[in-house]
Copies of this chain bind each other. A is one copy, B any other.
């Protein structure tokens, strides 16, 4: 008996060990019997529904779909491993955050924002983890490399796209401050200031 499309997809997602995009799921089937993209999507939706109320969930991340333990059950499952994953240094996290929000960005620009020189070991560590890559070069003397984040970065942090990253706090401008300082002035200049700040 031919297994259902959704069961084949479930088995493949669990066997793959990495997120699988829809195209790769379609290629599990012989050429002449490849399900349409819509059919694969339907099967994925059914799977997600089957998992409701259970310990696992279907999650779409940047490079495709994966089956993972539901967040609520993570504390139990984490008991399986004695050693806990290490922490990342603030310098590494700040660098990664700047690249994620400001990409493509050169090393010099990162240093400008952080106000300190950037150690090579941090950039190497980020590249070795596959979280950042050289996305191009800026047309400046020395053609400095432009860095950007990878799909692996998004996968690691359980994100589907950069849009899902937490929003940055807004930068206030001097004009905002003036408005707060002097309500009368603010009333008079209201529209101008808002535009300048926007």
Interface residues of A (CB under 8 A from B): 3, 7-12, 14-16, 20, 24, 27-29, 53-56, 67, 69-70, 72-73, 76-77, 79-80
- B16 close to A73 (CB less than 8 A): no
Sample of 5 A–B contacts (CB below 8 Å): A3-B55, A11-B55, A11-B70, A12-B77, A28-B77
Chain A interface SS verdict (over half): helix
Contacts of A73 in B (CB 8 A): 3, 7-8, 11
Chain B min CB distance to A50 (Å) = 9
Choice from B3, B53, B69 contacting A15 with Cβ under 8 Å? B69
- A76 close to B14 (CB less than 8 A): no
Contacts of A27 in B (CB 8 A): 79
- A10 close to B55 (CB less than 8 A): yes
- B77 close to A11 (CB less than 8 A): yes
- B69 close to A28 (CB less than 8 A): no
User: Once the chains are docked, how many angstroms separate the CA of A135 from the CA of B73?
Assistant: 40
> A53, A55, A73 — which one has the most chain B CB atoms within 10 A of its CB?
A55
> A69, A79, A80 — which one has the most chain B CB atoms within 10 A of its CB?
A80
- A8 close to B76 (CB less than 8 A): yes
User: Once the chains are docked, how many angstroms separate the CA of A76 from the CA of B15?
Assistant: 11
Chain B min CB distance to A94 (Å) = 31
Choice from B11, B20, B80 contacting A76 with Cβ under 8 Å? B11
- A10 close to B54 (CB less than 8 A): yes
Contacts of A56 in B (CB 8 A): 10-11, 14
- B16 close to A69 (CB less than 8 A): no
Q: Looking across the interface, which residue of chain B has its beta carbon closest to that of A9?
A: B55
Choice from B24, B67, B77 contacting A8 with Cβ under 8 Å? B77
